[in-house]
Amino acid sequence: MKQDCRIGLVQMESYVGESDLNCKRITHLAQVASQQEISFLCFPECALDGYSPQDASEIGDSLQSPRISRLRECAEDLKITLLVGLVEQTSDKKKPYISQVILSPGKEDMVYRKVHLGRSEQDFFSPGDKFPVFKAHGMNFAVGICWDWHFPEMAAIYSLKGAELIFAPHASPVIAGDRKEIWLRYLGTRAYDNSVYLGACNLIGSNGKAKEFSGGTLVIGPKGEVIEQTEFLEESITTALLSAERINRIRRFDRASMRDSFFLADRKKELYHELIQLEVTQQDKEG
């Protein structure tokens, strides 16, 4: 990490199929964020098109759509890297992807496609098949979307590929439970085990289709500590300044103390072959 970096995380309402309205809201929030000297601004899962798997075939954008072009211009004008969730339609007749497009000044468009689809999503979306790491503003970063973060291997792969910051955009509904409590159980672990900064955000309010989202933003440091989090349930931008010195000290191979351990540097990968061979099995209830 070349220098300290300020990031922003958005909780916002997004209506299904109201993509022009959602796009205007995204550009407005980007303009607000630009006043706070933010380098990265991350929006929730499907923020551009709204989250509703049952409607996925009827909504969405290609990466060449006019709305994406407007967002690209916004990123260029404001000198901010925007990470925007969308329902990504493609020309190959496949089911759409749940994607996060990354629009960074002076760079080609980048995209992450959700790999781990929830069971309620699998009939309506195609899964991604790559774990890309991107670079902007002197930072190596990556994205995982919502359900992705229940799979610890993903964060380990990103960290081993050099990611210093991972973004976790969500579309988690109210019925899932206390967002803050749930996130702190596992997102802190993803950051701690892999010595990365982690920034999470969520949709809030209604999707216009009778589904309600619980909101929430959270920034976690490379030792699992909470740096910033949302304290209120309304549209907002949470910002945090990430220290380059802190993560660079941890990532040094010749660490000075146990406190600064980069655990992945000491893993026994030659013994982990079982991880990709074993399957989940039903427990023998008679045993």
- 18 CB-contact burial (10 Å; exposed 0-12 / middle 13-18 / buried 19+): middle
Q: Please say whether the beta carbons of 102 and 83 come within 8 A.
A: yes
> How remote is the C-alpha of 252 from its chain's centroid?
26
Q: Please say whether the beta carbons of 173 and 213 come within 8 A.
A: yes
Distance of alpha carbon 169 from alpha carbon 183, whole angstroms: 12
- The verdict on pTM exceeding 0.75 is yes
What value, to the nearest 5°, has the Cα angle with vertex 5 and ends 13 and 263?
100
- Per-residue pLDDT tens digits of the chain, which is 287 residues long: 999 999 999 999 999 999 999 999 999 999 999 999 999 999 999 999 999 999 999 999 899 999 999 999 999 999 999 999 999 999 887 899 999 999 999 999 999 999 999 999 999 999 999 999 999 999 999 999 999 999 999 999 999 999 999 999 999 998 876 777 888 889 999 999 999 999 999 999 999 988 999 999 999 999 999 999 987 788 999 999 999 999 999 887 776 666 778 888 888 989 898 888 888 886 655 54
Q: Please say whether the beta carbons of 69 and 62 come within 8 A.
A: no
User: Tokens 């085990």 — which residue?
Assistant: 193
pLDDT score, position 287: 47
pLDDT score, position 255: 67
pLDDT score, position 259: 77
List, in order of start, the domains of the chain with CATH numbers.
Answer: 5-276 (3.60.110.10)
Helix, strand, or coil (residue 119): coil
Strands 5-11 and 40-42: parallel
Q: Please say whether the beta carbons of 238 and 266 come within 8 A.
A: no
Angle, in degrees to the nearest 10, between helices 66-78 and 19-34: 10
| Single-letter amino acid code for the residue at 259 | R
Which regions of the chain does DSSP assign to beta strands (E)? 5-11, 40-42, 81-88, 97-103, 110-113, 134-136, 139-143, 165-170, 197-202, 204-206, 212-214, 217-220, 226-229, 236-242
